[in-house]
Amino acid sequence: MLGDIMNLKEIILDYQTKTGYSLAEIARRVGVSRSTATRWVKGDIQSLSYDTMEQLSKLVGYNVEPHLKGMDISMHLPILGYVKGGYDLFNEDNYLGEEEVSLQEKKLGDFYLQVTGDSMIGDGILDGSLVLVQKTTHFTNGMIGVVAIGDEVTVKKLKRKGNLLILEASNPDVETRYFTPEEIQTLPITILGKVVLCKKYF
């Protein structure tokens, strides 16, 4: 039956048949209430959280996502705070909530940051934009990255010239900054991630 497309009810009943687990036990292992699992089997639930889908996949031993294409999969990523499209914004833990995301966004990045300032407007990153960040401590020349400079956090185009690290804005009115290996160590400068997507709400 694994090669066939199954709906959520069929996935649960198939797993029950193979394991002998009760519905209550399946619910416990996936991390939902028994009443939720009961509604799965009745076909009453039309949506599933991404985390629940992942837990269910782990339980049954295969990826259930292709089977649930007709369902509304609800996914969210955290908005961890503000990042300066400029410089001199103090790096504070400032959780802003969650952003509802698509499956593609969930696979692309790890968290969102909200941009303040206009230093990256040439790349379409405007004041108030949400940028999706993929965690990484490395960069390739020309990558738009999120960088901590001591206590400030900024989003810039990252380049290397000789032994210099260059943080380049895409707004000609904002200065490009150059850092030596010594400054990278002492400030310190840390690459936090790569910007992979930008959203702007009007």
Positions annotated as catalytic residues are 119, 156
**What residue has token string 């199954």?**
6
170, 121 Cβ separation under 8 angstroms: yes
72, 8 Cβ separation under 8 angstroms: no
d(CA 39, CA 178): 59
- The full length of the chain comes to 202
Calculate the alpha carbon distances from 90 to 3, 47, 76, 94, 153 in Å: 53, 39, 26, 11, 7
Strands 72-84 and 47-49 come out as parallel
148, 87 Cβ separation under 8 angstroms: no
d(CA 81, CA 94): 5
Query: Nearest to residue 144, comparing CAs of 126, 165, 127, 159?
Result: 159
